Structure 1
């Protein structure tokens, strides 16, 4: 009898940051768990070895060992930042997900020059390790093109599998009541939702300028995740928007799902994204989306969102773009027929990112890593 094929999914340490990568690790492991007769295990790591060793000694922790990786058919590292661990795997085939290469070319990814130099230096070893893996996986065709261009990797080495969006993300009819039960009280009237951190590439300056347009004078901006920087707060105050900004900070996943349903529209004005999970999550919850035309956002939206072109010279400052973004948000709020059309299109588009849709693509990527192109993953993998 052929043994059950096995996958070790390695993500970031649960106690650390990297929330989006943790979610991706769990969702991808769950997707792999739908394969017939496949066993999946999730392990965790965090930083390059010298830093990890130092921090673990400080915290009195035992380092996670990959010595048992030889017992698995596939070891899948959930992020490029874990790519250095490929060097510790001997007997199993390795897959590394490179979500994007934004740290190396997107202006505003890092807060300053020192962070940029340090961050890029830390990624060099993981990047070299990732390139030694049996298969690179990425989450969009946009990111695949970036990998080919910047790392000089042949397209045949890369599999594109979107980020799995679980069925937890779905319309919630009684969303506001559920939020009140969690102690979250939203203002009345139109609500524009923005979720994620406040790095400069998120282009929240444009969103605040859009909120200041007369078209949105009665709407509130509901912020989830990282709180606005002092500069963005000053801008909101200067433009008279500060009183209509609701900062919730980090909230539970259940609250995030309810917020998608409770708000009228989700805004994603980023100057670049390798995927753009809020776009896919919002569509899965039946919420209209307005996003920029940068990176993978139009690809993920797939014609189911309003896509606003940014000004390459001034992504966050061009007043005409801010007005256009504001008008798009207003239309999603006020035009009920159009909003209903966006909701319907978004729900249909979100099917492309459901686990059952992505499972065959992930299965095929693992098959290629095993050198079995054109066959189901792990079929006779141990034979």
Structure 2
């Protein structure tokens, strides 16, 4: 193994205009922690500026994001051309597996790809599903890039098992390194962020439930909305806060049909400190997804001292352990009952509620971006075939 003074790592980030906060967070945290664990790693962020080729089409983008045509053009045409012109590095870390096609434009044996879930490959795994906005041939190009990479680092053991079990990637190419919690996620008061959160939510003394994430089908926003509607029958003060983008037209129609529009506050994309403040202000956080690759809101909520109810999925059990509360996926009646039980605990059993909050904070402490960066540096050295002084 070659000995070298420093390892040059290029962090290959998502286009900012795509607005995938968890992917942007990973790039940000890798840059912040590079070389802070006693090793000598020099990190450089690679992220081109989104330059539209069809300005008129940009008006079609929802919630400030580019429309599908532009996203495909930027990902599969502009980004590859741009990255081939960048200075070389010892290791390239693609932080989002749906950008794995970039391996074809880099020395693939020195590429590390983080795989968050298998969603990008659903049309290959289950052809009847139509969640992907990419044509099959582009999905296959992403998959071939993933397979060409020197290492695929999964954020959970469940994600690795699914990748390998579906014959997407060989086991010997995979690693598991859980991601971390942003430093802003804490039970401690942050006066500036707390004021910003109060401005967004108002201060009515209501029972506020929080959902953080996108509105793609697997997030089961329908279950979320129906749960709130059922709770409203016995808790007329219940409200829902949504962070992560606007509802789809079908979801907005469902909220209107359920008569809960006035109970919902849909917020813009917010900074990490303000998001942490929203976690702290909420009574409970809900995550009713059908599928997850990790479930970052689980540990973010816990770190802020707010209990979470999430779908009873193997991956969420892996991440949440005994500190989270679980409910059967897809059953709004069961969800409403579970949430009501926890709210009753908050109202009438202060000691039990305090213990639940403390257990969450303690559990979340195991998920650190510093630990993540340290583990990734070991992967970088392995892939580069070097030892760093």
With structure 1 as the length reference, what TM-score do the two structures score?
A: 0.82
Aligned match of 1:75 in 92, 107, 131? 92
Contact 2:155 2:293 (8 Å CA) reproduced: yes
1:365 Cα shift? 2.3
1:297 Cα shift? 1.6
Classify 1:272/1:331 alpha carbon distance in 2 versus 1 (closer, same or farther; 3 Å): farther
Per-residue Cα deviation, 1:199-221 (whole angstroms, up to 9, x for no partner): 22111222222222345432211
Contact 1:86 1:129 (8 Å CA) reproduced: yes
1:267 Cα shift? 0.6
* Distance in 2 (alpha carbons) for counterparts of 1:274 and 1:142: 7
Match of 1:52 in 2: 74
Match of 2:293 in 1: 274
* Distance in 2 (alpha carbons) for counterparts of 1:148 and 1:119: 23
Matched, 1:126 2:142: yes
Matched, 1:362 2:379: no
Aligned match of 1:284 in 277, 281, 303? 303
Contact 1:130 1:136 (8 Å CA) reproduced: yes
1:295 Cα shift? 5.0
Classify 1:337/1:203 alpha carbon distance in 2 versus 1 (closer, same or farther; 3 Å): farther
1:346 Cα shift? 1.4
Matched, 1:340 2:354: yes
Contact 2:210 2:284 (8 Å CA) reproduced: yes
Contact 2:121 2:143 (8 Å CA) reproduced: no
Gaps of 5+ in 1: 373-377
Contact 2:9 2:42 (8 Å CA) reproduced: yes
What is the alpha-carbon root mean square deviation over aligned residues? 3.3
Match of 1:375 in 2: none
* Distance in 2 (alpha carbons) for counterparts of 1:224 and 1:341: 27
Aligned match of 2:315 in 296, 310, 316? 296
Per-residue Cα deviation, 1:340-366 (whole angstroms, up to 9, x for no partner): 222211111212211233234223322
Contact 2:109 2:148 (8 Å CA) reproduced: no
Per-residue Cα deviation, 1:207-253 (whole angstroms, up to 9, x for no partner): 22222234543221111122223333333334333222122232232
How many residues are paired up?
361
Task: Tell me the SS of whatever aligns to 1:223.
Answer: strand
* Distance in 1 (alpha carbons) for counterparts of 2:345 and 2:243: 20
Aligned match of 2:202 in 185, 189, 210? 185
Classify 1:199/1:53 alpha carbon distance in 2 versus 1 (closer, same or farther; 3 Å): closer
Per-residue Cα deviation, 1:276-299 (whole angstroms, up to 9, x for no partner): 111121111111111111252221
* Distance in 1 (alpha carbons) for counterparts of 2:135 and 2:204: 39
* Distance in 2 (alpha carbons) for counterparts of 1:247 and 1:49: 24
* Distance in 2 (alpha carbons) for counterparts of 1:258 and 1:137: 31
1:76 Cα shift? 0.7
